[in-house]
Chain A
Amino acid sequence: MMQTSVQSSHTLPGLNNLLSRYAEGMMWLARYSERIENLARLLEVTEGFVRGPDGQTGWDSIIQINSDETPFYALHTEATEANVVAFYVTEMANPNSIKSMAHAMRENARAVRPLISTEMWTHLNMFTRWVLELQFSDIRQHSLSSICNRLKQDCQTHYGVTEGTLYRDQAWLFYQLGKQLERSDQITRLIDIRYHTLLPTGEKAGSEIDSTQWASILRSAAAYHAFWRIQPIATTPANVVGFLLKNDGFPRSLAVCLEVFDSTLSVLAGHNSLRRLCGPIQERVAYLRVTLQDQTADDMIIRGLHEYMQWIQTQIAHIQNDIAQAFWPPVALVESSQTQVQQ
């Protein structure tokens, strides 16, 4: 048995069986990076909205989008700009603050450091250290948008270095899965802003609405110019939503993220020993993609965009959970069903 099990998996060149802990670390490294980038985008677009004569209103929308009412109001009494920014950028008491996530990103990076390239580590090391040293007073000094810009840029640099240097084995596949899954989740949250602040109930999906606000959403998703290249007629909510969810050329659209996710999963399933484990996850993703293809943006708005976004977010959580169960099952579970060893 010893001999036969040493077949050490040369099914595909350079692809060996990744340690479960590494797979988990790669996936979360990518997710945290993407999540930091998107939170920076959200903060920027929120700041854009509330800047105006009426001042402070609007900062609570970001709390709602992230369903953070309970933790936020445990720490603060009022959703002022200062409180919300502190909560989302520098407060370690909030596990979803940029600082907390940079900490988590760093821990994951340290765990997978044996796998990632030196260039990746060096950048991650300096980037996460900068974030961990950020103080609220720095934000006052440098303005929120310049901090957000640096965060975005560093996350993108991280991805660029990764794309250019990480060896393409299973570790890379899990990194991609994490990245695309998080992007999918985040684009639905960005769209949800609209539900909270842009289109008060009663207004119709097809009506021309406050174009500067929608433009700022497009801008924060880096979609503004692409949108105008293909959709020059009108900035209706349906057009914007359709672009961000269904467009098949925009790299942050839900359709593209799910497509890349799906094809990455197929590569993984191409490894003999993993086919069976990938099956149920592929089915769930396929179903999600069908619901997206079968509806127009108008349908989605009529049926309730907010509800659909929440449903997608739930599906994404299920997918993450499926992946965890398949590839890094809790130890207790493995011990009790040890059949795969005794061939």
Chain B
Amino acid sequence: MTNTQIQAPVSAASLFEDYQVPDYFCELTNRTGPLPPRLAHIQKRLDQYSLTELRHRAAAAEAQLDRHGITFTVYSDSKAIDRILPFDLVPRVITAEEWDHVERGVQQRVKALNLFLHDIYHERAILRDGIVPSELVLTNPNYCQAMVGLKVPGGVYVHINGTDLIRDQSGRFLVLEDNARTPSGVSYVIENRHMMLRLMPDLASGLPLRSVDDYGQKLRESLCQVAPEGVTDPQVVLLSPGIYNSAYFEHVFLAREMGVPLVEGKDLTVENHRVYMRTIAGLRPVHAIYRRLNDDFLDPLVFNPNSMLGVPGLVEAYRRGNVTLANALGTGVADDKAVYAYMPRIIRYYLGEDPILDSVETHICAEPEGLAYTLANMHKLVIKPVGESGGYGLLIGPHASQAELDEFRSLLHANPANYISQPVINLSVSPTLCEDGLEARHVDLRPFALTGRSTWVLPGGLSRVALRKGSLVVNSSQGGGSKDTWVLAS
């Protein structure tokens, strides 16, 4: 910088001078061992920006997101508001060694999830052997009768998986939950990288970053690999609920990256148990559907009869093996928060290996001892309803008021099976541009795994950041933002 001497003394202070990380693992500055040289290097580069410069670039980022209409829709009080997901331009960095561990752990987990799903829809050995309680699976609202006995191509149920990871005070990666239905957020991983390279080329320059650009092609390849048998040139489509869906931007993004049509339910029809799309030249066959529509809405003949979003007859076509659905139906039973507690045992059962990634210690309130423990320790636990997602309806004990604790106590008594509890984990933090400069904010990580003939994990994943000071909730619908995630190749 040539103009250093004319800057006011205030902005001459380094970015990291006031940066404090009380008691947390910081992804960039504060590790349990000595700081890896690459991280020290990145921090040093960052430190060369003035706060003003960083703010200028942050404003430019926001303007670009706005212009590109990279938004998600929030519905509240029957109003729909298009919001941009706030982007923080300090990257979250993962070293090559750390990534190797995460990648293997995610692959192992996806393998176990697929074996578990195959088993519970066929032999049910794991239930017979008493590893997982039968009623937890068979009476689970996400257990799908239409899947019983059905053979799916390659034995793959979960083609696209998002594994939510957090890191504790010691930097240990822990699985918080699996997302084996229709995980979202991958478009932000790729858009964030593009944004980063546009706005901070000087920061990334020369660093060995793993690319995130081939996700769309990998996804298409995976789906082609599990297309119905005998189809040589499968037609893949992405099925979206349409332009009013909160994740429509992502659906568009992925359809474009894959180079396949984005269809809505009304674009598809089923004839003779085969799926077709309506084109200007009449009906054309469809062989694989990446569906971003929940099970309940897919086929009004089988599920919700009022759904206008789905395709009548789709499930029967699927059952006859004429079309592949990704993900398969009924995968929700595997990423259920109650089943989550059994995942370490599920992994050992099918693979005969210890889990590579640890889970968060979980108390199942459906079980008497779990409920008793939860009731006795509410103030230090996170209590989650098992059916909810998006960070809704949970209680963070240490932050809760007496009234909130009392309310949850009666909820737990009324319907214990609806809840699990976990200790509060002191999530790792990452330097984040805030009102007063760089501050520590909690982050998580959602790597995305694609499975066709084998499992491929997109290097990195979505790093979500809780922008409110002290907040542990990173969900976009609850004031979270995101960061570019850098996986170093070496």
* Stretch of B257-265, B345-353, B380-388 on the interface side: B257-265
Contacts A110-B243, A110-B248, A114-B252 given; indicate if A23 touches B233 (C-beta within 8 A).
no
- Bound-state CA distance A274–B264 (Å) is 23
B233 near A19: Cβ-Cβ < 8 Å: no
A342 to B272, alpha carbons, bound, how many Å?
Answer: 9
Q: Which residues of A contact B278 (CB under 8 A)?
A: 19-21, 328, 331, 334
> Of A2, A19, A118, A327, which contacts B263 at CB under 8 A?
A19
Q: Measured between alpha carbons, how far is A342 from B274 in the docked complex, in Å? A: 11
Give the contact stretch, choosing among A3-11, A34-42, A223-231, A309-317.
A3-11
In the complex, whether B67 has a CB less than 8 A from a CB of chain A is: yes
- The 8 A CB mask of A104-131 against B (1 = contact, 0 = none) is 0001001101100010011001100000
In the complex the two chains form, is A274's CB within 8 Å of B281's CB? Answer: yes
B267 on interface, CB distance cutoff 8 Å: yes
State whether B68 touches A341 (Cβ < 8 A). Answer: no
Q: Is the CB of B232 within 8 A of A6?
A: yes
CB-CB < 8 A to B262: which residues of A? 114
Residue A17 interfacial (CB < 8 Å): yes
Supposing A110-B243, A118-B68 touch, asked if A20 and B279 sit within 8 A by C-beta, the answer is yes
Q: Which residues of B contact A17 (CB under 8 A)?
A: 279-281, 284
List chain B residues, Cβ under 8 A from A122: 67-69
Q: Are A21 and B281 in contact (CB under 8 A)?
A: no
Chain A residues, Cβ within 8 Å of B256: 114
Instruction: Check if B231 sits within 8 Å of A273, measured CB to CB.
Output: no
Within 8 A of B (CB), among A295-339: 326-328, 331, 334-335, 338
Q: Is B375 engaged at the interface, CB distance under 8 Å to the other chain?
A: no
Asked whether any CB of chain A lies closer than 8 Å to the CB of B421, the reply is no
Residues of chain B within 8 A of A23, CB atoms compared: 280
Which listed residue, B231, B232, B233, B283, touches A340 by the CB 8 Å rule? B283
- Complex contact A125–B68 (CB within 8 A): yes
Contacts of A334 in B (CB 8 A): 269, 278, 283
Residue of A nearest to B258 (CB): A114
Partner of A126, one of B67, B235, B279: B67
For B266, list chain A residues within 8 Å (CB): 21, 331
Among candidates B69, B272, B283, residue contacting A121 with C-beta atoms closer than 8 Å? B69
B230 within 8 A of A: yes
Any A CB within 8 A of the CB of B255: yes
A6 and B281 contact, CB distance less than 8 A: no
Given A20-B279, A340-B282, residue A6 in contact with residue B231 (CB < 8 A): yes
A222 in the interface (beta carbon within 8 A):
no
Q: Does A170 contact B (CB under 8 A)?
A: yes
Q: CB-CB < 8 A to A286: which residues of B?
A: none
Indicate if the CB atoms of B231 and A341 lie closer than 8 Å.
Answer: no
Cα distance, A2 to B235, chains bound together (Å): 11
A271 at the interface (CB under 8 A from B): yes
A277, B274: Cα distance in complex, Å = 25
Check B261 against A114 for contact (C-beta < 8 Å): yes
* A335 → B minimal CB distance (Å): 7
Q: Are A125 and B243 interface neighbours, CB within 8 A? A: no
Chain A residues, CB < 8 A from B342:
none
B261, A6: Cβ atoms closer than 8 Å: no
Write the chain A residue with the least CB distance to B244: A110
CB distance from A138 to the nearest CB of B (A): 20
Report the minimal beta-carbon distance from A109 to chain B, rounded to whole angstroms: 10
- The answer, yes or no, to whether B404 is at the interface (CB within 8 Å) is no
Using A8-B235, A110-B243, A110-B248 as known contacts, say yes or no to A2 and B285 having CB atoms under 8 A apart. Answer: yes
| A17 CA to B234 CA, complexed, in Å | 15
User: A75 at the A/B interface (Cβ < 8 Å)?
Assistant: no
**Contact A3/B285 with A20-B267, A113-B252 known, Cβ cut-off 8 Å:** no
A125, B285: Cβ atoms under 8 Å? no
In the complex, which residues 44-98 of chain B have their Cβ closer than 8 Å to any Cβ of chain A? 67-69
* A82 CB within 8 Å of chain B: no
Q: Which chain A residue has the least Cβ–Cβ distance from B259?
A: A114
Q: Is A18 an interface residue (CB 8 A)?
A: yes
CA distance A19 to B243 in the complex (A): 16
B153 CB → nearest A CB, Å = 15
B271 at interface by CB-CB < 8 Å: yes
CB distance from A90 to the nearest CB of B (A): 21
Closest to A22 in B: B261
Q: How far is the CA of A21 from the CA of B285 in the complex (A)?
A: 16
Given contacts A2-B285, A8-B235, A20-B267, contact A114 B255 (CB under 8 A): yes
Which B residues are CB-close (under 8 A) to A121? 68-69
Taking CB atoms, residues of chain A closer than 8 Å to B69 are 121-122, 125
Report whether B68 and A107 are in contact in the complex, using a CB–CB cutoff of 8 Å.
no
Q: How far is the CA of A277 from the CA of B281 in the complex (A)?
A: 8
CA distance A270 to B101 in the complex (A): 56
Cα A126 to Cα B65 in complex, Å, equals 12
Chain B residues with CB below 8 A from A21, complex form: 263-264, 266-267, 278
CA A271 to CA B279, docked complex, whole Å:
13
Supposing A8-B233, A21-B267 touch, asked if A327 and B285 sit within 8 A by C-beta, the answer is no
On whether the beta carbons of A19 and B261 are closer than 8 Å, the reply is: yes
A121, B277: Cα distance in complex, Å? 25
Could you tell me the distance in whole angstroms from the C-beta of A326 to the nearest C-beta in chain B?
8
Digitize A91-113: 1 where CB-to-B-CB distance is under 8 Å, 0 elsewhere: 00000000000000001001101
- Nearest Cβ on chain B to A333's Cβ, whole angstroms: 11
Q: Are A19 and B232 in contact (CB under 8 A)?
A: no
- Chain B residue with minimal CB distance to A7? B233
Report B260 CB to chain A, min CB distance, Å: 9
| Closest B residue to A323 using CB positions | B280
Contact indicator A125/B67 (Cβ below 8 Å): yes
State A18–B281 Cα separation when bound (angstroms).
8
- Do the beta carbons of A328 and B280 come within 8 Å of each other? yes
Query: Does B408 sit within 8 A of A, measured CB to CB?
Result: no
> Closest chain A residue to B254 by CB distance?
A114
**Of all chain B residues, which has the CB nearest A174?**
B280
Q: Cβ of B276 < 8 Å from any Cβ of A?
A: yes
A11 and B282 CA atoms in complex are apart in Å by 16
Contact string, A251-288, partner B, CB cutoff 8 A, digits 1/0? 00000000000000000000101100100000000000
Residues of B within 8 A of A331 (CB): 266, 269, 278
B-chain residues with CB within 8 Å of residue A271 when the two chains form the complex: 281
In Å, the complex CA distance between A327 and B271 comes to 19
Chain B residues, CB < 8 A from A111: 243
Least CB distance from B82 to A in Å reads 10
Determine whether the beta carbon of B67 is less than 8 Å from that of A20: no
Contacts of A18 in B (CB 8 A): 279-280
Can you list the 8 inter-chain pairs with the closest CB atoms, starting with the nearest? A17-B279, A273-B281, A327-B280, A114-B262, A125-B69, A340-B282, A110-B243, A114-B255
Q: Which residues of B are in contact with A by a Cβ distance under 8 Å?
A: 67-69, 230-235, 243, 248, 252, 255-256, 261-264, 266-267, 269, 271-272, 274, 276-285
- Identify 12 residue pairs between A and B in the complex whose beta-carbon atoms are under 8 Å apart, listed by A's number: A2-B230, A3-B231, A6-B233, A19-B278, A110-B248, A113-B252, A114-B252, A118-B68, A121-B69, A331-B269, A338-B271, A341-B283
Can you name 12 extra interface pairs (CB under 8 A) apart from A2-B274, A122-B69?
A: A2-B230, A8-B235, A19-B278, A20-B267, A20-B278, A110-B248, A111-B243, A113-B252, A114-B256, A273-B282, A277-B281, A334-B278
